[in-house]
A and B are shown apart, each in its own frame.
Chain A
Amino acid sequence: MDFTHTEDRTMLKDMVARFIADNYPLEDRNKAAEGSDGFSRDMWARFAELGLIGALFSEEDGGFGGAGFDINVLFEELGRGLVVEPFIASALLGGSVLAQLGNDDQKALITDVVAGSTLLALAHGEPDSYYDLAHVETTAMSDGDGFVLNGRKAVVLNGDSADYLVVTARAAGGTWDEDGISAFLVPAGTGGVEIRGYPTIDGQHAAEIVLDNVRLDASALLGESGKAYPAVEMAVARANVALVSEAIGLMEVCRDMTLEYLRTRKQFGVPIGKFQALQHRMATVLTEIEQARSAAINAAGRLDLPRAEREKAISSAKALAGRIGRLVSEEAIQMHGGIAMTWEYGLAHYAKRLIMIDHQFGDVDYHTARFVEFSRQAA
Chain B
Amino acid sequence: MDLNYTEEELAFRDEVRAFLKSELPTSISDKVKTGKRLTKEDMDTWHAILNRRGWLAESWPVEHGGTGWNAVQQQIFDDETCAAGAPRIVPFGLKMLAPVLMKYGSQEQKDYYLPRILDGSDWWCQGYSEPGAGSDLASLKTKAVRGGDHYIVNGQKTWTTLGQYANKIFCLVRTSTEGKPQQGISFLLIDMDTPGITVRPIILLEGTHEVNEVFFDDVKVPVENLVGEENMGWTYAKYLLTHERTNIANVGANKVSLAHLKHIGRQQKVRGRPLIEDPVFSARLAQIEMELDAMATTNLRLLSSPDSVANAGPMSSMLKIKGTEIRQALNDLTRRALGPYAMPFVSEALDTGYNEEPIGPGYAAPVSQEYFNNRKITIYGGSNEIQRGIITKMMMGL
Specify which chain A residues have a CB less than 8 angstroms from the CB of B384 in the assembled complex. 334
Assess whether A337 is in contact with B203, with CB atoms less than 8 Å apart. no
Assess whether A352 is in contact with B343, with CB atoms less than 8 Å apart. no
With an 8 A cutoff between CB atoms, is A56 at the interface? no
Name the residue on A nearest B137 (C-beta).
A267
Contact-size category for A: 35 or more
Specify which chain B residues have a CB less than 8 angstroms from the CB of A330 in the assembled complex. 375
CA distance A80 to B360 in the complex (A): 30
A-B contacts at CB below 8 angstroms, number: 134
Specify which chain A residues have a CB less than 8 angstroms from the CB of B215 in the assembled complex. none
Per-residue CB contact flags for chain B residues 341-359 toward chain A (1 = under 8 Å, else 0) read 1111110000000000001
With an 8 A cutoff between CB atoms, is A378 at the interface? no
Per-residue CB contact flags for chain A residues 313-348 toward chain B (1 = under 8 Å, else 0) read 000000000000010001001100110111110001
Interface of A, helix, strand, loop or mixed by DSSP: mixed
Per-residue CB contact flags for chain A residues 48-92 toward chain B (1 = under 8 Å, else 0) read 000000000000000000000000000000000000000000000
With an 8 A cutoff between CB atoms, is B69 at the interface? no
Assess whether A176 is in contact with B383, with CB atoms less than 8 Å apart. no
Specify which chain A residues have a CB less than 8 angstroms from the CB of B206 in the assembled complex. 201
CB distance from A27 to the nearest CB of B (A): 13
CB distance from A13 to the nearest CB of B (A): 28
Within 8 A of A (CB), among B230-283: 268-272, 278, 280-281
CB distance from A321 to the nearest CB of B (A): 14
CA distance A125 to B339 in the complex (A): 11
- Known A202-B343, A359-B342; contact A348-B205, beta-carbon cutoff 8 A: yes
With an 8 A cutoff between CB atoms, is B129 at the interface? yes
With an 8 A cutoff between CB atoms, is B379 at the interface? yes
- Known A334-B379, A338-B380, A365-B281; contact A267-B345, beta-carbon cutoff 8 A: no
Assess whether B380 is in contact with A198, with CB atoms less than 8 Å apart. no
CA distance A267 to B344 in the complex (A): 38
Assess whether B135 is in contact with A359, with CB atoms less than 8 Å apart. no
Within 8 A of B (CB), among A301-316: none
Specify which chain B residues have a CB less than 8 angstroms from the CB of A341 in the assembled complex. 204-205, 375-376, 379
Assess whether A200 is in contact with B272, with CB atoms less than 8 Å apart. no
CA distance A174 to B369 in the complex (A): 36
* 26 intermolecular pairs with C-beta atoms under 8 Å apart: A130-B269, A130-B271, A154-B360, A175-B272, A199-B344, A208-B359, A267-B139, A330-B375, A333-B375, A333-B379, A334-B379, A337-B383, A338-B129, A338-B159, A341-B375, A342-B205, A343-B203, A351-B205, A351-B372, A352-B205, A356-B342, A356-B368, A359-B338, A363-B336, A365-B280, A365-B336
Of all A-B residue pairs in the complex, the 7 with the closest CB atoms, nearest first, are A348-B205, A201-B345, A267-B136, A200-B343, A155-B340, A343-B203, A130-B339
- Sample of 7 more A-B contacts, CB < 8 Å, known A155-B341, A341-B376: A155-B343, A175-B272, A268-B139, A275-B385, A337-B135, A341-B205, A356-B342
